[in-house]
Amino acid sequence: MPRSGSDFWCKEIELQIPSLLELDRWGTRYIDRLPMETYDLIVVGLGAVGSAALCQSALRGARVLGIDRFHPPHELGSSHGETRITRQAIGEGMEFAPLVLRTNVLWRALEAATGQELMVQNGGLMLLDAAGQADSQGAGAAFYRRTADCAKRFGIAHQLLTAAEVRQRFPQFVLENGGEGYLEPGAGFLFPERCVAAQLSLAGANHAEVRTNEIVTEIVTDSAGVVVQTNRSRYGAASVVLTPGPWMAQWARTICGLGEAHFAVYRQTLYWFALQENHPRFSPEQMPVFLWSSVRVEKGFYGFPSLDGVSLKVATEQFDVLSDAGSGPAAVAPEQAQDFYDGRVRVSLRGLTSRCIRATTCLYTVVPDHSFVIDHGVDSERVWFASACSGHGFKHSAAVGEVLAQKALGELPTVDLRPFARQRFKVNI
C-alpha cells in the first residue's frame, strides 16, 4: 500500500477511536481515551506465518506492528527444531502446490535480501514399503499416489524408483523388494528458526515495529478500525492479521467463527540419533530428506540428512493424545527414544546407533481435515487469520503470510484462498 494511502487510513482511525473505546465493557473509559498508537496493520503472533505477514506488509510500505507473547524465534510454539521438510508436489492436496511454489520464490528473495541460507534443495525421497504398496486403500499408498499425481499435474520434476534402484542410489535405506520410491530433486529442507528471524529482521529494516513478551488479550473491530488490547497497552489499526499458531483455540469463536475443537493441539517429538561413524553418505549432498509411508501413515516416519556429521534427525506424528498451547515442551524419556529406534529406525535405516543424543517436542495445531483455515474474521474483513499447520505448514508459510498481508491491505491475493475457507466446517463441534 502506498505510504500516502496508509497515512490517510491511520488518520481516519485516530478520529474514530473514541467510538471504539466506548465499547469497552470494563468501564475504563478515561484510560481508554488516552492517545494510542495506530497502524495500517497489526500482526498478532510472529512465528512462521506471522513473521512472513509482517515482513511482506512492511516490504509493501505499510505502517505495521507485530506483537508476540514470547521472543521469536522460540521453542514454545510450532516453528523450532532445526529443520522442516519442503516438497513441491504436495500429497496433502493439489490446492497446496501454488502455496509452496510461491513460498519457494519468497525464500530465495529473502535469502538474497538477508544473506542467510534458508532453504536447501537437496532432494526428497518418499518411500512406500511393500506392505504399504500392497494395501492400495491405505493412507500411505494414497498419499504416495497423490504426490505423484500432483507432480504430473504441476510439471514438478520427479522420478519413480523401484526398491532396487532406491537401494542402489541411497544405501542408507532398507527398502525390500515390492516397495517403491518417489524422488523429487526440488524438495529439501528449511531452517525454521532462521526463516522466522530473517523475516523479522527484514521487516524491521523496512520500518516494522515489533513488541515481544506482550500478550494480545482482545481484538475489537468496528466499521472504523480495530483495537488490539494487550497485557501492556492497546493499539489501533485499520486491519489485523491473527496468526497465533497453537493458541488459535482461544480465538475460535470470537474471530474464526468456529469451535475450540477445530484447532486441536498435538505434541510431537523429534529425535536425533547418533551415526555409527562420521560417514559422508549422511550429508545433505549424499542423502535426501525422506518420508517413509507404511500401511498406515501413523506407522511411517520422516527424517533429514545429518547437518553436523554426528547425528541425524527423525520423527513421526501422533494424533492420539491431545495437548494444549500453554503446556510448553515436554521431557522425552529414554524409553520413548528407544521405542522409536526399535520400531522404525532399526528396520529402515542403515548406519545409525540407538543412542539418542537430543530430543525435543513441538506443537501441531490440527484442523479436522488436516488442511489449513485461512479466512477473514467472522464479523469483519478487517481481521484476517490463518491456522496453517496440521503438521505441514512451514513449507507454505511465506506465501500464507503474503496472502494475509495482501488481503489485509486490500490487494488481490497471489494464491486462491477458497479451498481454505472456514465454511467447509460445521461450527458447533
Ligand X SMILES: Cc1cc2nc3c(=O)[nH]c(=O)nc-3n(C[C@H](O)[C@H](O)[C@H](O)COP(=O)(O)OP(=O)(O)OC[C@H]3O[C@@H](n4cnc5c(N)ncnc54)[C@H](O)[C@@H]3O)c2cc1C
- Positions touching ligand X (CB under 6 A) are 44-50, 67-70, 72, 77-79, 81, 84-85, 215-216, 243-247, 268, 270, 315, 362-364, 388-389, 391-395, 397
d(CA 287, CA 291): 12
d(CA 408, CA 221): 13
Nearer to ligand X, 257 or 393 (CB): 393
Q: What is the dihedral of CA 293, 296, 297, 298, to 10 degrees?
A: -120
Nearer to ligand X, 64 or 163 (CB): 64
Nearer to ligand X, 46 or 295 (CB): 46
The one-letter amino acid at 100 = V
State the residue number with the nearest CB to ligand X.
47
For residues 238 and 42, the answer to whether their CB atoms sit within 8 Å is no
Cell of 7: 497515512
Nearer to ligand X, 147 or 243 (CB): 243
Least Å from the CB of residue 404 to ligand X: 11
Least Å from the CB of residue 260 to ligand X: 14
Handedness of CA 367, 332, 74, 323 (dihedral sign): positive
For 261, list phi and psi in degrees, rounded to 5: -70, -15
Q: Using the CB atoms, write b or e for 380-393: b if 16+ within 10 Å.
A: bebbbbbbbbbbbb
Least Å from the CB of residue 250 to ligand X: 7
Nearer to ligand X, 210 or 270 (CB): 270
Nearer to ligand X, 131 or 248 (CB): 248
Least Å from the CB of residue 136 to ligand X: 26
Q: Edge-to-edge strands of the sheet including 188-190?
A: 84-86, 188-190, 119-120
Least Å from the CB of residue 373 to ligand X: 11
Least Å from the CB of residue 341 to ligand X: 18
For residues 389 and 319, the answer to whether their CB atoms sit within 8 Å is no
Nearer to ligand X, 167 or 273 (CB): 273
For residues 273 and 352, the answer to whether their CB atoms sit within 8 Å is yes
> Cα separations (Å) of 25 from 40, 47, 208?
25, 31, 31
Nearer to ligand X, 270 or 295 (CB): 270
Least Å from the CB of residue 239 to ligand X: 17
For 294, list phi and psi in degrees, rounded to 5: -120, -155
Least Å from the CB of residue 360 to ligand X: 8
